[in-house]
Amino acid sequence: MGKGKDVSSVEIKRPICIGLDVGTMNLVCTRSDTNETKITRNVFLPVSSDEIGLSDLSELSHIVNDDGDMFIIGEDAFKFSNIFGQEVRRPMKRGVISSDEIDAVEILTLIIKDLIGDLDGQQAYCTYSIPAEALDSDKSITYHEKIFGRILSSLGINATPLNEAMAVVYSECQSTAFSGIAISTGAGMVNCCTSVKGINVIEFSTEQSGDWIDKNVADSLNMVKNRVTNIKEKHLSLNRDFREHKNKKIRRVLEALGYYYTAMVDNTVNRILKEFEEKVDLDLDEELPIVVSGGTSLPDGFIELFQTEIEKHDIPFEISEIRHATNPMTAVSNGLLIKALATVPK
């Protein structure tokens, strides 16, 4: 009689847990089985086979759909759009799936599949970010939430949504027992939440964020919005006088960016205080940290600008500190991964 298999020697693979930050400008993925966090621009640029061959795409991030349509994606699409002075196409707008792009869901599925990578047949659990309902828009997030759930399910992944700002609390406020105010400044939205001992007591978003800044600057100066974004990412410092830059055109853009950044921060602070006043009926006996994340908060001087604007108001709670997340670009995905790890079946 043959010997049975030694059960003790069989390797039991743990499920893969994933945190997927679904941002208007960037998609960020953190997996439990690797130390790497992957970030890709959430943008695409259609290319025809008449204009460029597959061999020319070999060095570029690209995808081909079932119909044979080719798209450059991610950072490469952003670079090419700037070279040719075109507006890059985006499957998301103002924090949710774009109603203007007929190919949005198909493109997002392909980009997410490429970003998450091979799961090697293992069971996978993903917590993905969703925005709060916007105070300055009547657009529902229900369709957006359900579509991303379907996309991940189609990839064989168990998916659960989580408020984007609450994910920042999970990644950044462990030392305060998950109490704090988290602000995630994306391209499409500013998402805010106030958490007390891990309970989300306030959550909201506004559409006055990175894209709002770039569009208003572009409209004011009659420019392509991509160019404004590029100048912002390369040259903007809110600590430095825009007049120090040697290039006249760039000076004009930096000046306008400063004005709209101040307007965005002022709007965010006012919204936080108004929501707190109207919806929080308790006396807090602890100081709350304010933690800021997201690509729109990256320019030097952003935290100082936030501090300056908040000092103009009477604050109904004590603030222990105002600081950047440890890594502003990955704080949301890290918090989503923490939540996924905590909720996966044992």
Same topology between domain 13-164+330-343 and domain 174-324: yes
174-324 CATH: 3.30.420.40
Choice between 190 and 344, residue whose per-residue pLDDT is larger: 190
For the beta carbon of residue 84, count every other beta carbon within 10 angstroms: 9
Confidence of residue 249 (pLDDT cuts 50, 70, 90): very high
Alpha-carbon distances, residue 179 vs 116, 279, 334, 335 (angstroms): 31, 17, 17, 14
DSSP 316: S
Is the separation of the CB atoms in 165 and 132 below 8 Å? yes
Where are the chain's structural domains? 13-164+330-343, 174-324
Closest by CA position to 73, among listed 98, 94, 37, 47: 47
13-164+330-343 CATH: 3.30.420.40
pLDDT, averaged across the chain:
87
Confidence of residue 137 (pLDDT cuts 50, 70, 90): confident
Neighbouring-strand partners of residue 41:
26
pLDDT tens digits for range 98-118: 777 777 888 888 889 989 999
Q: How far apart are CA 336 and CA 127, in angstroms?
A: 5
Lowest mean pLDDT among 91-100, 196-205, 231-240, 294-303: 91-100
pLDDT tens digits for range 182-211: 999 999 999 999 999 999 999 999 999 999
Contacts of 321 (CB under 8 A, 6+ apart): 289, 290
Is the separation of the CB atoms in 236 and 262 below 8 Å? no
Closest by CA position to 148, among listed 165, 162, 166, 133: 162
For the beta carbon of residue 316, count every other beta carbon within 10 angstroms: 11
Lowest mean pLDDT among 26-40, 45-59, 256-270, 289-303: 45-59
Q: What is the pLDDT of residue 1?
A: 46
Lowest mean pLDDT among 8-12, 147-151, 312-316: 8-12
Q: How far apart are CA 329 and CA 167, in angstroms?
A: 12
Q: What is the pLDDT of residue 65?
A: 73
Q: What is the pLDDT of residue 7?
A: 47
Strand residue runs (E) in 217-318: 288-293
Intra-chain end-to-end CA distance of the chain, in Å: 36
Closest by CA position to 30, among listed 41, 15, 19: 19
